[in-house]
Amino acid sequence: MSLHLDTQSLPSPDGIIDMMGEENQTPSRSDENMRFRQSFERAMPSSRKPKQYDNVGVLMLSFDPTCNAQEIADMDVNEEVQELARVFRNDYNFDVTTEVIHSNDDAQSQAYTHISQFRLRQSRKKHALSILYYAGHAWRSLDKKRKRKGGFDLTRGQVVAELSQPEGTYIMWEAAEKLLHHMKGDVLVIFDCCDSGYLDGRGPGYSFDYLVACAEHKKTWKPSSHSFTSALIWALKELKPDPNRELATESKPNRPFKVQELRDKIREHPPFPHDQEPRIFPRWSHMTEPIWLSPIPKKPVSPTYHDGPSARLRSSSTASDTRPEECSYVDLRFFFKEDITIDDAPKVARMVSAAVQDQSLELNARHVSVLEFGSITPPRERLRKAFNSIRAANSFSRRSHLADDAYEEEDLEPPVRKRAKINHSKIEQNTQPVLNSLSVSQRPVTPMSEGPPSDAETHIDLHFEPGAVWSVEVRRPLNNDPSTTTKVVGIRIRSTGD
């Protein structure tokens, strides 16, 4: 299991915890890591304080529902978009801009224009958070000729596998997203569309998170009480801190909240489908600070935010708890005697909590995050697989020689893929085994699988006396180059019989 320790010091700890986004792995492994992280972070103390912003800008994009471009517009999200805009603007005092992609111009060009103007406005602000929201149809690109990998299209109408999208009617998001890569400040992208979990990706930069409505290959509800946007509106109202409310509860903590908490709150919306799983994942590979949300004070005052019995005070926006662009970290890996499961995550958190809490240490971490957890195949299992591979190669080699002899007897052309014939001479018995003089790198090799990477199998003849102790290394060519080899496994065996 790998851990990430953020070692940059901060003032006194306040017990806030944080959860990291999903890894870009296979869905099953990614889900396991996600659940392990969530369980670990709930139990792991932290000295991180809520990150506050002086300015929050929101760009809300959607397609024009009244367009008749080849009759593909089939969903009107305008009402929900406007309701969410009012919450951002009135309840949170965010700077909101709503833009509609019309049918009379190229959709990609319109997206470039709106995002570029938004980026320019945000670049003039300090300590700013930029939120880009999209609601509508979307799906991974079905265009096999697309040069960019990970293509994802925002479309006016529902995507049909058999039909290609008309030119100029969709937005290639992987291209438009590049305008956000070097924005000054943190970025949060919120997508209420189908297949949005497909966007999980990697790269360097500021905090750049995605909050999406569902996992990849999944579909979402159209505008209704069951939709992701409806649940988002409800969750924002529920989590909104109120300086006039003295009591805080678990469901209403009355303090700035993380995007992860917003995602969890969305799931609690009664009409929200239980089988739909909103996802959070970082756009970048490094462990970024979490993005926090709270209303921007309209006046330069110091409102009080209560956080449980300790009633800690939050400073005003004029004294925001900003983060440096760079920080130090150490990646560690812990090895355990027992198998570690998701249920063991809180125990692991308690084990490493001293790194944050023990003030007697010469150095304290601000926070500890999980990169991943897993298992390593035991050496005995690796040796067993190596023996099986050698035995299979030996059997295959004998069958190949018989086949070559048959071709020669019948005066037929052998297959295109010829196998070198080896004259296996008898090897003089000795107390130590002697390998055939033919180099292993020159022996015939057979791929174990058709797809990359493909390991190689080779046939090795050995002869030794009972009681002898001998060692053998199995090596394979590097990149199909016989002149260079790499060690696959080393074996040491004592013979006990004839």
Residue ranges of the chain that CATH labels 3.40.50.1460: 50-320
pTM exceeds 0.85: no
Whole-number pLDDT of residue 412: 44
Residue 30 neighbours by CB under 8 Å, 6+ apart? 22, 23, 24, 200
Give the fold, CATH level 3, of 50-320. Answer: Rossmann fold (3.40.50)
Whole-number pLDDT of residue 25: 42
Question: Do the beta carbons of residue 33 and residue 22 sit within 8 Å?
Answer: yes
Whole-number pLDDT of residue 441: 44
Question: Residue 349 corresponds to which tokens in the numbers above?
Answer: 């958190």
Residue 420 neighbours by CB under 8 Å, 6+ apart? 442, 443, 444
Low-confidence ranges of the chain (pLDDT < 70): 1-30, 46-48, 67-74, 146-150, 160-164, 201-207, 244-253, 284-289, 299-327, 377-382, 396-498
Question: Do the beta carbons of residue 122 and residue 128 sit within 8 Å?
Answer: yes
Q: What are phi and psi of 491, to 5 degrees?
A: -130, 135
DSSP secondary structure, 343-410, as one string? GGHHHHHHHHTHHHH-TTSS---SEEEEEE------HHHHHHHHHHHHHHHHHHHHHHHHHHHHHHHT
Query: What end-to-end distance do the CA atoms of the chain give, in Å?
Result: 45
Task: Assign 242 to helix, strand or coil.
Answer: coil
Question: Residue 390 corresponds to which tokens in the numbers above?
Answer: 């050698």
